[in-house]
A and B are shown apart, each in its own frame.
Chain A
């Protein structure tokens, strides 16, 4: 026991460190993938219709992007280091099987970094539509980058595209087979749409909060457009996401029965499985949850007769840990996604009837929390996919405990990372607040727009206006 303790301790520390830094980076990755699209929608509107407010928004969002992309670039680099520093055996054995995806990602990352610089720093001197077009490669490379990175994660869930010899060494690889493994088909669209939801709802929530705090801004075009552009994108994406998520869940039931059984709290294999909403998973079934008989089987195979594999079929040493956590994370993701769908439908209905944002404060309140909700759903989804794959780092090929480093001091590294990232997060928020406050000062300086001839004067900028 004494000998195995440090490794067990290392495993926990390495997993915590990876989870923390990945959980932090994934938010920034979403912003990198989807924020450029919001900027381009605004810029397109601005150029096409000569809409100065839309152009201002595009400029403002690109300033925020400048800050967040830089933070994302370094937190992403940390992950590249961690791949080797924390999981050297994983990289050693499998690096040449899944690595091609990362090499392709390198190409997209380059394109993204190059054109985001031209876009952000080119507002003054790159003119008109040329500036708009300089943003298009960013959107494309965001999608391509998301594909190649998620393909690697999918590969960990569904390792394909290699051949082993009798000793278990990789002797042949099929880079395309690894890249287009069966999990990529649902993981990639799921993550891409998640990025658009996080950014769409997140950006809209900033404007909703502003409108709630300063009611006079509700008629202000800068805020209305700032809310509407990202919220519309998110509202379009959300129903597609619910469909993709549904497909993904069925894919997981098929490809990774242990993950599915754990996240749905299924103990005994069989037909007519109950779908549990909430609750705590115990050895004697789910406690305190709401059960809908037969629904789980129906969702997996469109019939209550569908047999769903339970944890009884999974060897004890291959069962994912923390079933309740997985189950609740899955429910949180689905629940929030459904609620966001309701929000999207609300906007669509009122827009269809009145060509306007719903007037009630409750709508703004809902939008205000939708951003944080989308982030929670995102993190929950990653908990399901990563914790749900345990104890494997490469599903049914390599255990996470076999991959971990034997280097010392991982808990110190974890503590250091928490401190460093806390500072990073703090300064990023301060920087963003400043960017948006400066814009408020400018937008406020023009006064409320024509359709609000009276009402309280705009709040003078508190501190952001001067430099």
Chain B
């Protein structure tokens, strides 16, 4: 395993954590949007629950994205540049979604006073934007739309695979958000909303599962090498993800409580790891390998050192934050 591989693993870890925890924050926004048809009191209740759940943690969750971006451009500058140059449209749109979503957190109740209830919906709607376009970016990279050195077509990402992965990302975010919110309701003793999010978690799990299978089929057509990798070296992880997903679904139906959150996270972690293994040794299939994209050696060493400092410092702090949040100490 080269130093570049280690940095790639760090990149994947950061991306996974953003997809899971940042994704759950966006997914919660989608649920807020979908709650628009509920009776006003219930809608109020849902908004409050989501604000309460996300308020303390969303910013920390968001930092995973920054960290992933920084590791990408520092560790793999030769991959970062073509990705940004080719996929600037979906990336810029994802950034707009981030701005809107963050502002929604920042001044949620101000919006509803100044601009009326609808403003909140606009900001909840922004939760669809970022996961979708991030999915497009990942799909376009998997499909080989981004080529080493060159800047491919600006609209190359508008194709079956990127768009499908985009929708899959949205569904996955809503799924993990519903599981997290269900868990938060249980901890807060909110018996009214528990079944509400439970039903939605089951629905989202099924939709995400169907989309994942559809994604595999399109992947086979559009990016055969990645598909083969996924069913080759990636198969154990893919299977594990399916098992985690299945177990979460079973747990939802059976009314498990504590296991749900870890199971849902497990499904995410394993599928992303499986994808990384499938793509290996390419960073941009099939034109740029991890080693070729990597920056100079001393920088890779520095990144690895920073990551270990990061683990030692941020790990316990993050654990403290989540613990306090889940114990309802933060309000």
User: How close is A121's CB to chain B, nearest CB, in angstroms?
Assistant: 4
Contacts of B39 in A (CB 8 A): none
A71–B98 Cα gap in the complex (Å)? 10
Q: Is A96 an interface residue (CB 8 A)?
A: yes
Q: A92-B80, A172-B298, A413-B92 are in contact. Are A117 and B99 (CB under 8 A)?
A: no
User: How close is B164's CB to chain A, nearest CB, in angstroms?
Assistant: 24
The answer to whether A115 touches B317 (Cβ under 8 A) is yes
The answer to whether A109 touches B63 (Cβ under 8 A) is yes
Identify the stretch in B67-75, B170-178, B261-269 within 8 Å (CB) of chain A at 4 or more residues: B67-75
Q: Is A239 an interface residue (CB 8 A)?
A: no
Q: Is B154 an interface residue (CB 8 A)?
A: yes
The answer to whether A111 touches B102 (Cβ under 8 A) is no
Q: Which among B56, B92, B103 is the interface contact of A117 at CB below 8 angstroms?
A: B56
A94–B295 Cα gap in the complex (Å)? 9
The answer to whether A99 touches B313 (Cβ under 8 A) is no
The answer to whether A424 touches B99 (Cβ under 8 A) is yes
Q: Is B85 an interface residue (CB 8 A)?
A: yes
A89–B307 Cα gap in the complex (Å)? 26
The answer to whether B102 touches A70 (Cβ under 8 A) is yes
The answer to whether B85 touches A107 (Cβ under 8 A) is no
Q: A75-B99, A81-B95 are in contact. Are A107 and B73 (CB under 8 A)?
A: no
Q: A103-B71, A117-B57, A121-B331 are in contact. Are A110 and B310 (CB under 8 A)?
A: yes
User: How close is A78's CB to chain B, nearest CB, in angstroms?
Assistant: 5
Q: Is B62 an interface residue (CB 8 A)?
A: yes
A137–B111 Cα gap in the complex (Å)? 31
**Can you name 26 A-B pairs with beta carbons within 8 Å?**
A70-B106, A73-B63, A77-B95, A77-B98, A77-B102, A84-B83, A84-B84, A88-B81, A88-B85, A91-B80, A96-B75, A97-B299, A100-B299, A103-B302, A111-B317, A113-B63, A118-B56, A120-B56, A170-B296, A172-B298, A405-B84, A407-B85, A408-B154, A416-B96, A424-B103, A427-B110
User: How close is A238's CB to chain B, nearest CB, in angstroms?
Assistant: 30
Contacts of B84 in A (CB 8 A): 81, 84-85, 88, 91, 405
Residue of B nearest to A412 (CB): B92
Contacts of B295 in A (CB 8 A): 95-96, 99, 170, 173
Contacts of A173 in B (CB 8 A): 295-299
List residues of B (4-22) whose CB comes within 8 Å of A's CBs.
none
A105–B71 Cα gap in the complex (Å)? 11
Q: Is A434 an interface residue (CB 8 A)?
A: yes
A45–B49 Cα gap in the complex (Å)? 35
User: How close is B98's CB to chain A, nearest CB, in angstroms?
Assistant: 5
Q: A175-B298, A405-B85 are in contact. Are A99 and B59 (CB under 8 A)?
A: no
Q: Which among A80, A103, A115, A137 is the interface contact of B306 at CB below 8 angstroms?
A: A103
- Interface contacts (Cβ under 8 Å), in number, total 224
Task: Report the interface size class on chain B.
Answer: 35 or more
Contacts of A93 in B (CB 8 A): 77
The answer to whether A95 touches B73 (Cβ under 8 A) is yes
Q: Is B105 an interface residue (CB 8 A)?
A: yes
Q: Is A428 an interface residue (CB 8 A)?
A: yes
The answer to whether B56 touches A109 (Cβ under 8 A) is no
Beyond contacts A107-B309, A113-B60: 14 other A-B pairs, Cβ-Cβ < 8 A, are A74-B102, A88-B84, A99-B77, A100-B306, A106-B63, A106-B310, A111-B313, A113-B63, A122-B330, A172-B297, A175-B299, A405-B84, A408-B154, A427-B111
Q: A113-B63, A175-B299 are in contact. Are A71 and B102 (CB under 8 A)?
A: yes
Q: Is B214 an interface residue (CB 8 A)?
A: no
The answer to whether B303 touches A100 (Cβ under 8 A) is yes
Q: Is A124 an interface residue (CB 8 A)?
A: yes
Contacts of A94 in B (CB 8 A): 77
The answer to whether A84 touches B80 (Cβ under 8 A) is yes
Q: Is the interface of A mostly helix, strand, loop or mixed?
A: helix
Q: Is A431 an interface residue (CB 8 A)?
A: yes
Contacts of A78 in B (CB 8 A): 95, 98-99
The answer to whether A77 touches B75 (Cβ under 8 A) is no
Q: A77-B62, A103-B71, A427-B114 are in contact. Are A122 and B151 (CB under 8 A)?
A: no
Contacts of B62 in A (CB 8 A): 73, 77, 113
Q: Is A5 an interface residue (CB 8 A)?
A: no
A364–B297 Cα gap in the complex (Å)? 57
User: How close is B103's CB to chain A, nearest CB, in angstroms?
Assistant: 6
The answer to whether B299 touches A430 (Cβ under 8 A) is no
Q: Is A335 an interface residue (CB 8 A)?
A: no
Residue of B nearest to A81 (CB): B95
The answer to whether A71 touches B103 (Cβ under 8 A) is yes
The answer to whether B299 touches A126 (Cβ under 8 A) is no
Identify the stretch in B188-196, B199-207, B318-326 within 8 Å (CB) of chain A at 4 or more residues: B318-326
Residue of B nearest to A405 (CB): B85
Q: Is A116 an interface residue (CB 8 A)?
A: yes
Q: Is A418 an interface residue (CB 8 A)?
A: no
Q: Is B66 an interface residue (CB 8 A)?
A: yes
The answer to whether A96 touches B310 (Cβ under 8 A) is no
Q: Is B251 an interface residue (CB 8 A)?
A: no
Encoded as 1 (CB less than 8 Å from any A CB) or 0, chain B from 99 to 116 comes to 101110111001100100
Q: Which among A67, A69, A95, A420 is the interface contact of B107 at CB below 8 angstroms?
A: A67
Q: Which among A103, A115, A125 is the interface contact of B70 at CB below 8 angstroms?
A: A103
Q: Is B91 an interface residue (CB 8 A)?
A: yes
Q: Looking at A106, A115, A420, which has the most chain B CB atoms within 10 Å of its CB?
A: A106
Contacts of A71 in B (CB 8 A): 102-103, 106
A107–B302 Cα gap in the complex (Å)? 13
Residue of A nearest to B55 (CB): A121
Q: Is A322 an interface residue (CB 8 A)?
A: no
A107–B310 Cα gap in the complex (Å)? 6
Contacts of B96 in A (CB 8 A): 416, 420
Contacts of B107 in A (CB 8 A): 67, 427-428, 430-431
Q: Is A406 an interface residue (CB 8 A)?
A: yes
Residue of A nearest to B315 (CB): A110
Residue of A nearest to B104 (CB): A70
Contacts of B331 in A (CB 8 A): 121, 124-125
A115–B102 Cα gap in the complex (Å)? 18
Q: Is A312 an interface residue (CB 8 A)?
A: no
Q: Which among A70, A109, A170, A407 is the interface contact of B103 at CB below 8 angstroms?
A: A70
User: How close is B50's CB to chain A, nearest CB, in angstroms?
Assistant: 15
Q: Is A171 an interface residue (CB 8 A)?
A: yes
Q: Is B78 an interface residue (CB 8 A)?
A: yes
Q: Nearest 5 A-B pairs (CB), nearest first?
A: A96-B295, A99-B74, A95-B77, A84-B84, A92-B81
Q: A78-B95, A427-B114 are in contact. Are A110 and B318 (CB under 8 A)?
A: yes
User: How close is B167's CB to chain A, nearest CB, in angstroms?
Assistant: 22
The answer to whether A67 touches B106 (Cβ under 8 A) is yes
Contacts of B74 in A (CB 8 A): 95-96, 99-100, 102-103
A92–B151 Cα gap in the complex (Å)? 13
Q: Is A114 an interface residue (CB 8 A)?
A: yes
Q: Is A83 an interface residue (CB 8 A)?
A: yes
The answer to whether B66 touches A77 (Cβ under 8 A) is yes
Q: Is B88 an interface residue (CB 8 A)?
A: yes
